[in-house]
Amino acid sequence: MNSRAGAARQAGTALLWAALLLAPYWLPWVGGYTALGARVLVLGLAAMSLNFLLGFTGVVSFGHAAYFGLGAYGAGLTLKLLAHSTPLALFFGTLAGGIAGALLGALIVHLRGVYFAMVTIAFGQVFYYIAFRWNSLTGGDDGLRGFARQPLHFAGYAIDILNNGHAFYYFVLVCFAVTVGVMALILRSPLGRTMLAIRENERRARFLGIPVERHIWVAFTLSCFFTSLAGALYAMVNNFADPMGLHWSLSGDLVIMAVMGGMRSFWGPLVGAAVFVVVQDFLSSITTNWMSFVGLLIVLVVLFFPRGLLGLAQRRGEA
Amino acid sequence: MTQLLLFNAINGLIIGAFYVLMALGLSLILNLSGVINFAHGGFLVLGGYLAYALTPYVGFWGALLIAPLLTAGVGFVVERLMVRRVYGRDPLYGLLLTFGLAFILEDGTRSIWGAQGLPVSIPAVLARPLSSDFFFITGYRLFMVGTVAAAVFLLFALLRYTRVGIRIRAGTLDLDTVSALGINVRGLRSLNFAAGIFLAGLSGVLAGGQLGLEPTMGTGLLMPGFVAIIVGGVGSLPGTLLGGLLIGLASGVTAVFFPSASEAVIYILMAVVLMVRPHGLLGEEGLLT
């Protein structure tokens, strides 16, 4: 990479942060609303967490909705039954999905390729059935209701993120920034470099003495932790958690966000999430056949733009 | 109690037979093309609705054959136009492509036939229970098992004794060598894909007679198909057969003791199998992994 491309990238990142910081002010001008911004941020965070595995370790998981949904239910149940505290809810939600990911990850790290993908799909669905059937705890098909995010307290100050939409958006943005910051740090650390090495050539990494399975397990577990944090935030966006947050169709949505934005780029999945959420909102407002159009969009992306939006831009920059 | 257990075990095996039929189609496509067909449930539903539309003209028995054939035709075209473009690429793209196709198929059937569930009329011969003791074994269920058995027998015979079948099996093991021997691998894969979709269509017709038809039913039926393949071992058709029957039996037996876990239990079974035999009951290491 030459220095001009590096400068362009830095300018792009600065622009992105500016856009995110000012979103509550410019979104209404283009027909959006603040809650939409929070939704994009949360789904973007989930897609970036998935891409930590997909794009940077080269392992396909098609079942990340499970950890997203576990985060959502964990946070919701904490607020409803345990404590009226937003930070605690985030903590327990993240823990629920992360631990499930660590356990299931240990079962499947020996598998590769198609096999790995298929097992993640199947395991992704088990929590859906549990949430669907365990009516007394989860509310079943109707979803989990009766909880709300709580105001934050800092040394005497209270920030009302419940009623103030702007405050809540900035709360989500702070969580988002911390998480992607941790992700970026990991990717620059020896661990992250090893993940890239496994993605590029697993056999060579193995010959170099790298314990590949252990690294894939670590990457999978971290990815699940980040994803379930996004899920916990999602429960607070809506003050609601429903089984569709655990359904495999959401897993597919997260993958298409990552691919559409650009799997090989750090910010790609966020861009993909923004495009996907906006397109889906728009299509479902103008036609009842929006599913066909979303399906067609997915097919077209796979056949003609497998490198995604930012991948396309990068290629142009290199040429 | 013993009787109840026996009833549910048999019932589970009947459901398992249905899973087998669907999973075999998935397995065929996965083995030769390396594509996890997420749209399998969509094709299943399409088969069911086509049978519904055809029944007034050709009767139930005609629809039983013609609807799967038409579905297979659609599958053949889809393979030619789209699916073959992702062969050899990261499995991610095959998954995503068929994921998008599943959306289109579900929405398409909903647009044509409506979101309301449709009942499927089955011949009176099949509708009545066989005896008062075994009230739950209707003629239709027995007919389902018979059809599945016939289809499985035919499929295994074709794979074993015909030239195309032998080529498909060889291609599963080593496609490059098969190609180097001068066999048209592209055509083979198209044919194999269509055969897998034929089985999906047949499953759809059978499921329609038992459960009625709904545009969304495919996705619910798809997951047990995946589990059956994993339990049996990816790459092994006899494994898929065994896996399907096992998970059917497991969910049937669980329904006696703990009905609300009858769906989750197959995933627990899968976890146990993966712990004990990471490549499934009859799977071999190195195949498709």
**Dist. CA B149–CA B147, nearest whole Å:** 5
Give domain limits for chain B: 2-285
pLDDT in tens, A273-297: 999 998 988 888 888 888 899 999 9
Residues of B in contact with A106 (CB under 8 A): none
Interface test mutation site (partner B, options A296, A298, A301, A307, max chain B beta carbons within 10 A): A298
What is the pLDDT of chain A when averaged over all its residues?
86
Contact B267 A123 (CB under 8 A): yes
Q: Between residues A133 and A204, which one has the greater pLDDT?
A: A204
Return residues 44-83 of B near A (CB < 8 Å).
82
pLDDT > 80? residue A68: yes
Percent of chain A scoring above 90 in pLDDT = 39
How many domains in chain A?
1
Tell me what pLDDT residue B131 has. 64
Residues of B in contact with A304 (CB under 8 A): none
Tell me what pLDDT residue A103 has. 93
pLDDT in tens, A21-67: 888 888 877 777 777 888 899 999 999 999 999 999 889 898 999 99
Tell me what pLDDT residue B289 has. 44
**Dist. CA B271–CA A119, nearest whole Å:** 9
**For the domain B2-285, what is the CATH code?**
1.10.3470
Q: How far is CA A59 from the centre of its chain?
A: 16
Query: Nearest-CA residue of chain A relative to B224?
Result: A122
Query: Nearest-CA residue of chain A relative to B233?
Result: A115
pLDDT tens per residue, chain B (289 residues)?
Answer: 777 888 888 888 888 998 999 999 999 999 888 899 999 999 999 999 999 999 889 888 888 999 999 999 999 999 999 999 999 888 889 999 999 999 999 999 999 998 888 887 777 777 766 666 666 667 788 888 899 999 999 999 999 999 999 998 888 888 888 888 988 889 999 999 999 999 999 999 998 888 888 888 888 888 899 999 999 988 888 899 999 999 999 988 888 888 777 888 888 898 888 888 888 888 776 555 4
Interface check B227 vs A, CB under 8 A: yes
**CATH code of the domain covering residue A304:** 1.10.3470
Query: Nearest-CA residue of chain B relative to A118?
Result: B226
Q: Between residues A72 and A4, which one has the greater pLDDT?
A: A72
- Domain residues for A277? 2-318
Tell me what pLDDT residue B20 has. 93
Confidence of residue A156 (pLDDT cuts 50, 70, 90): low
Residues of A in contact with B263 (CB under 8 A): 129, 133
Interface check B246 vs A, CB under 8 A: no
Query: Are B289 and B239 in contact, with CB atoms under 8 Å apart?
Result: no
pLDDT in tens, A166-177: 888 888 999 999
The secondary structure of chain B as a DSSP string is -HHHHHHHHHHHHHHHHHHHHHHHHHHHHHHHH----TTHHHHHHHHHHHHHHHHHHHHHHHHHHHHHHHHHHHHHHHHHHTGGGGTTS-HHHHHHHHHHHHHHHHHHHHHHH-SS-B-----HHHHSBS-STTTT-BHHHHHHHHHHHHHHHHHHHHHHHSHHHHHHHHHHH-HHHHHHTT--HHHHHHHHHHHHHHHHHHHHHHHHHHH-B-TTHHHHHHHHHHHHHHHH-TT-HHHHHHHHHHHHHHHHHHHHH-GGGTTTHHHHHHHHHHHH-TT-SS--TTS--
pLDDT > 60? residue A317: no
Contact B100 A295 (CB under 8 A): yes
Contact A118 B226 (CB under 8 A): yes
Tell me what pLDDT residue B118 has. 84
Interface check A291 vs B, CB under 8 A: yes
Contact B99 A298 (CB under 8 A): yes
A150: region left, alpha or beta (phi > 0 left; psi from -120 to 50 alpha): beta
**Dist. CA B208–CA B210, nearest whole Å:** 5
Query: Are B36 and B95 in contact, with CB atoms under 8 Å apart?
Result: yes
